[in-house]
Chain A
Amino acid sequence: MVEWTEFERSTIQSIFSKLDYDVAGGKALARCLVVYPWTQRYFGSFGNLYNATAIMGNPKVAAHGKVVLQGLDRAVKNMDNIKATYAELSVLHSEKLHVDPDNFKLLADCLTIVVAAQMGAAFTAEVQAAFQKFLAVAVSSLCRQYH
């Protein structure tokens, strides 16, 4: 089982408590679609994804980004049980959505950059380490049911 220090727990809670879920998830997902354009293939029904401006302004991207962040929130509220918390989500991504699990890391990286840009100097090396550890556990749990 993953062990979390007090610093890591409080850092994760603090970061997510300061995130506007209506905005941050959409930003991270939009960046993913811009920086790693092959990920657009998963969102054929989202309409205009032709350029960065269109993607950043696309309401379906924003809405789905919020869904993703709310999914992450479940891990934030269950840090000692992320694997079990995500078991169903993992099956969903594998069996129904057919998402290549490499993409989880790409989205995690984009969310890290959104948070880093928002927090500025407050996103210290220690905070970065805690945040990336949390995301690594979330990603690993999402990959768990893929076989």
Chain B
Amino acid sequence: MVEWSDNERAIIADVWSKIDVGEIGPQTLARVLIVYPWTRRYFGAFGELSSVAVVLANRKVATHGRVVLNALDVAVRDLDNIKSAYSHLSSLHRYQLHVDPANFRLLADCLTIVIATKFGAAFSSDVQSTWHKFMAVVIAALGSRYF
């Protein structure tokens, strides 16, 4: 099981408390679609995604970005049980959505970058380190039903 120090728990709770899901979710997903354009293949039903401006304005992207980021709340609230908490989500991504698990890391990277742009110098190396660990655990949990 993953071990979290008190300091790590405090950092994750603090970062999460400062994240406005309504703002960060849409930005994060939009960045994934812009920076890693092959990910658009998962969102054929979202309409126009052919240019940066269009992705940024796309309401379905924004809505779905919020859905994804809201799901992180489950992990934040249950740090000691992320793998089992995400078991059904992992199966969903594997068996129904057929998402290549490599993409989880791309999303995590974009989220980390959005947080860095928001926090500036407050995103210190300690905070980055802790957040990176948290993302790694989430990614592993989401991939846990893929085999």
Give the B-binding residues of A (Cβ under 8 A): 30-31, 34-35, 52, 55-56, 109, 112-113, 116-121, 123, 125-126, 128-129, 132
Contacts and interface: CB of A to CB of B under 8 A. Distances in A.
A30 to B, nearest CB: 6
Given A113-B112, A113-B113, A126-B34, A34 B52 contact: no
13 contacts: A31-B128, A34-B129, A35-B132, A52-B126, A113-B112, A113-B113, A117-B117, A117-B120, A117-B123, A123-B117, A125-B35, A128-B31, A128-B34
A86 B132 CA distance: 30
Interface string B105-126: 0000110110011111101111
A71 B116 CA distance: 25
Contacts of A119: 117
A86 B118 CA distance: 34
B30 interface: yes
A116 B52 contact: no
Contacts, number: 59
B99 interface: no
Most-contacted residue by chain A among B30, B116, B118, B123 (CB, 10 A): B116
Interface in B51-77: 52, 55-56
A30 B125 contact: yes
A125 B112 CA distance: 13
A116 B113 contact: yes
Nearest to B124: A52
Size class of the B contact interface (CB-based, 8 Å): 20 to 34
Contacts of A35: 125, 128-129, 132
Interchain residue pairs A-B with the least CB separation, the first 7: A116-B116, A34-B125, A125-B34, A129-B35, A117-B116, A125-B31, A35-B129
A contact patch SS? helix
A125 to B, nearest CB: 4
A125 B57 CA distance: 13
Given A31-B128, A34-B125, A120-B118, A129 B112 contact: no
Nearest to B33: A125
A117 B34 contact: no
Contacts of A34: 125-126, 128-129
A126 B110 CA distance: 12
Contact of A129 (B34, B123, B132): B34
B126 A123 contact: no
B119 A125 contact: no
Nearest to A37: B129
A55 B55 CA distance: 40
